[in-house]
């Protein structure tokens, strides 16, 4: 395992950039081609974003967890304390979760890229050049 001290772009940098939807390599907002699609490579540093088939399906897992935490659990508390009816909570849960996931989808794509490079920071082009002098 590579030490964070020898990295040009540290795991903290990758997390910060990824949470904001920026490229983990250069830090620019140039990853998205459209609302539902990443570019084949970063628009600024040209780092390849194409991963193996099914790699980006992890956005579904991120979306499920986020929806449970920020939509379903609060609605359960509202029903428990009789602030909203069960029917209202179900309808809010269905439509709220759909809108929540639709709204966050671009960020979830960026978070998948972030998760990959947090686990393997030495794969970043900026970190590969740090171990090989020019």
The reported pTM is 0.78
pLDDT digits (tens, 9 = 90+) for 9-48: 999 999 999 999 999 999 999 999 999 888 999 999 999 9
What average pLDDT does the segment 39-66 reach?
82
Question: Which is nearest to 120 in space by CA: 1, 23, 26, 13?
Answer: 1
pLDDT at 132 over 50: no
Taking the domains of the chain in order of start, what are their residue ranges? 4-128
For residue 2, what are the CA distances in angstroms to 93, 113, 123? 43, 19, 11
């Amino acid at each position: 395992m590579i030490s964070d001290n020898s990295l040009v772009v540290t795991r903290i940098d990758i997390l910060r950039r990824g949470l904001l939807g920026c490229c983990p390599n250069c830090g620019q907002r140039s990853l998205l081609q459209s609302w539902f699609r990443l570019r084949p490579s970063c628009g600024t540093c040209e780092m390849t974003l194409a991963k193996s088939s099914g790699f980006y399906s992890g956005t579904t897992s991120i979306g499920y967890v986020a929806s449970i935490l920020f939509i379903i659990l609060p609605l359960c508390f509202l029903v428990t304390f009789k602030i909203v009816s069960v029917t209202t909570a179900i309808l809010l849960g269905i439509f709220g979760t759909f809108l929540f996931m639709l709204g966050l989808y671009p960020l979830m794509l960026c978070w998948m890229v972030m998760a990959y490079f947090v686990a393997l920071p030495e794969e970043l082009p900026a970190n590969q050049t740090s171990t090989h002098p020019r």
